[in-house]
Amino acid sequence: MAEVQAVKDNDTIRLIGHLLTVRFNPQMADVWNIGLNLALRISDLLSIRFEDIHGNRLIIRESKTGKVANIPLNTKTLELIAKIQNQYPTHTYLFQSHRCQQIKHKAPQPLSRRAVSMAFQQVGKEVNITLGTHSMRKTRGYFLYQATKDIARVMKMLRHSSEGVTLRYIGITQDEVDKDFVSLEL
């Protein structure tokens, strides 16, 4: 399985959101757009319940680490969440599967990781990027690093314990680091 990539330009980010809406449904685009802003692992992103949202903060326990993530929600994310909640006021999950509603007496379930992964892979082929569920998290980390050049901040946001892991995760290559040395003259 190929390692998925960070998306490194805003036009492609918007194109992916558009293609997810057109090729699949607006819910997949919402997963993409909210996922970009939260930088959560896909299992945590899909398991968000409306009750986990407290005003302008998301408070969840991460499934991989067991740590509590207390994330402030930016304006775009709050607007998307409000839109979803207004459209589906009886839903339990932010990204609730519509299939489970068709089966009587079945408890609500979030979208499956597999469904999201397949949608992202297909759109990734269209835009010629190895796209997957980690691409949202990687993209957020990449843009934060480009804006700040502060790997410690990126590590903290992604909750990583190693600079090397973080740099590799967000797709910062040695060529890019070398370019920074050449282009930055003091």
Q: Which residues are catalytic?
A: 41, 64, 134, 137, 160, 169
3-class DSSP state of 75: helix
Alpha-carbon dihedral 62, 129, 152, 55, rounded to 10 degrees: -40
Supply 29's token pair.
Answer: 């685009």
* C-alpha–C-alpha distance, residues 42 and 31, integer Å: 9
Alpha helices in 74-159 (DSSP H): 75-87, 99-102, 113-127, 135-148, 151-158
Ramachandran angles phi, psi of 168, nearest 5°? -65, -40
Cβ-proximal residues to 163 (8 Å cutoff; 6+ apart), any chain: 151, 152, 155
